[in-house]
Chain A
């Protein structure tokens, strides 16, 4: 699986969009980008994933650059409850590889009033 690089921490004002970047310059063609978050003392929560097209769901949007070397997770209107560690994970063909997720250090997002 390709290695990912994320900033260790970020701040965001409540109500504003939170844009969390992730670099994955060694990503290969069959690797997906997944985002999870972990609120303190809870299990990680799936947010979104994509291969090469931008994706949106009720929680967030995922923007993947055309060369797929980086991506951005966007929380459109951050709330205090979005304060968490956000993990960007790159993994090949989830079906073939099964449930194995390789977590990095993630980005600690602090949403402030």
Chain B
């Protein structure tokens, strides 16, 4: 069974640009969550999508947005990039049901803003 796939693995962007990251969850998983990891702030929750609807949202500015497609694949977008957006962006998928609640993480996308 394939795991969570994130693309691209590495990305370099310039301040002011925008970026789109992609996450393909494990087959059958309907929940996709996004996290930002930086040395200073650690792992922080961005948002979660479940059946194409945003179910949870963390404390990030509106420049960070996401969406989920009918096949559960998800994208997150960061507009007007700032140097501080340099981070490892992780996505996690889970079944989203009552019984199986563990989340499975991808390898992440390392974003560098210059």
Q: A42-B107, A43-B105, A46-B103 are in contact. Are A98 and B50 (CB under 8 A)?
A: yes
Our pick among A87, A95, A97, A105 for the contact of B56 (Cβ within 8 Å) is A97
Q: Which residues of A are found within 8 Å of B48, using beta-carbon distances?
A: 98-100
Give the docked Cα–Cα distance between A105 and B55 (Å): 25
Contact of A103 among B32, B42, B56, B108 (CB under 8 A): B42
Contact: B56 with A99, CB < 8 Å? yes
Question: Would you call B45 and A101 a contact (CB within 8 A)?
Answer: yes
- Contacting B at CB under 8 A, from A57-94, are 87, 94
For chains A and B in complex, what number of residue pairs have CB atoms within 8 angstroms?
68
Interface residue SS majority, chain A = loop
Binding site for A on B (CB under 8 A): 4, 31-33, 35, 42-45, 48, 50, 55-56, 58, 90, 92, 94, 96-98, 101-108
